[in-house]
């Protein structure tokens, strides 16, 4: 991972924590996620003239239906996780993808060094310490405030591997579009799972509730759309050349950002275990940076 890749991922992490704060603080996270998805589509309409579909590699088209379905379930699980648990509990679990991606990395051509593996392990340990408040009780895996967070984690692992495959295909193809590959892929993925999520949301929660929340929360919805799009595009750009395990692990510093935001804006309580977990996350990122620069 180069220094440029590292900064791309850190910026992505900050933006990701920010839009998740807005989702958690919203009246209804399920509707909020659908609204910012729709806002993303509207905001990106002006980019369509620069979208050259013919230049998109075949490998991307093959991955797109799968990752669109996985993202649909990710948003449903994430909304339920925020309805049942604190941001500082649900968020670290859903972002603890690194260990699983690293284990499956060889299947997509990634190699992680011993030092890099140590850094990933430290990041994941820190994230889980924040999410579980330092408890080792296995019953926490099925606790009401964590069960949907674990399901969201599973979908995150799946779409991370799919996204890495798609960005590898992009990296091997000639590209002349003024739009970055990551931005193009984000637009395609968002459109794909919006077709599934939007109709389901309206059917489940109703048009009137959706319109009412849109009227009251259009500012954070728009902010989340911009932050989410930028965050996703930045991390995908890094994935073009950096190993998925390193990228995903480094992005876990968003756990520190989310814990701070939850405490400051939502009044969520902190503890020694969560503070130690946040520090472990930062330490793990440092280890990864040193390992990948060697």
> pLDDT confidence of 141, banded at 50, 70, 90?
low
**Domain range list for the chain:** 3-293
Q: What is the pLDDT of residue 129?
A: 81
> pLDDT confidence of 288, banded at 50, 70, 90?
confident
- Does the structure show a pLDDT above 80 at 178? yes
- Percent pLDDT > 70 in the chain is 92
> pLDDT confidence of 106, banded at 50, 70, 90?
low
Q: What is the pLDDT of residue 14?
A: 93
Burial 162-196 (b: 16+ CB within 10 A, else e): bbbbbbbbbeeeebeeebbbbbbbbbbbbebbbeb
Question: How far from chain centre, in Å, is Cα 164?
Answer: 13
Residue 213 or 178, more confident = 213
Tokens of 174: 């000639």
| Mean pLDDT, all residues of the chain | 86
- Does the structure show a pLDDT above 90 at 82? yes
**CB-side neighbour CA atoms (13 Å) of 17:** 22
Average pLDDT over every residue of 125-145? 76
Residue 38 or 100, more confident = 38
- Percent pLDDT > 90 in the chain is 35
Q: What is the pLDDT of residue 103?
A: 64
- Does the structure show a pLDDT above 90 at 220? yes
């Amino acid at each position: 991972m180069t220094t440029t890749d590292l900064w791309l991922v850190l910026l992505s992490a900050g933006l990701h924590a920010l839009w998740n704060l807005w989702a958690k603080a919203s009246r209804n996270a399920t509707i909020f996620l659908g609204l910012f998805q729709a806002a993303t589509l509207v905001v990106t309409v002006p980019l369509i003239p620069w979208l050259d579909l013919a230049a998109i590699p075949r490998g991307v088209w093959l991955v797109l239906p799968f990752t669109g379905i996985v993202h649909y379930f990710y948003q449903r699980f994430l909304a339920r996780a925020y309805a049942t648990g604190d941001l500082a509990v649900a968020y670290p679990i859903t972002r603890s993808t690194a260990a699983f991606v690293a284990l499956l990395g060889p299947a997509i051509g990634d190699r992680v060094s011993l030092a890099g593996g140590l850094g990933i392990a430290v990041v994941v340990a820190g994230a889980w310490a924040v999410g579980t408040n330092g408890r080792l009780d296995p019953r926490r895996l099925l606790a009401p405030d964590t069960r949907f967070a674990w399901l969201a984690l599973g979908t995150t692992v799946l779409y991370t591997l799919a996204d890495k495959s798609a960005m590898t295909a992009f990296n091997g193809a000639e590209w002349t579009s003024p739009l970055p590959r990551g931005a193009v892929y984000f637009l395609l993925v968002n459109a794909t799972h919006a077709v599934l999520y939007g109709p389901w949301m309206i059917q489940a929660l109703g048009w009137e509730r959706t319109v009412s929340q849109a009227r009251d929360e259009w500012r954070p919805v728009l902010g989340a759309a911009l932050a989410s799009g930028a965050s996703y595009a930045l991390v995908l750009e890094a994935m073009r050349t950096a190993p998925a395990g390193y990228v995903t692990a480094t992005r876990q510093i968003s756990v520190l950002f989310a814990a701070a935001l939850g405490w400051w804006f939502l009044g969520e309580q902190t503890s020694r275990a969560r503070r130690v977990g946040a520090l472990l996350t930062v330490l793990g990122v440092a280890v990864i940076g040193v390992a990948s620069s060697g």
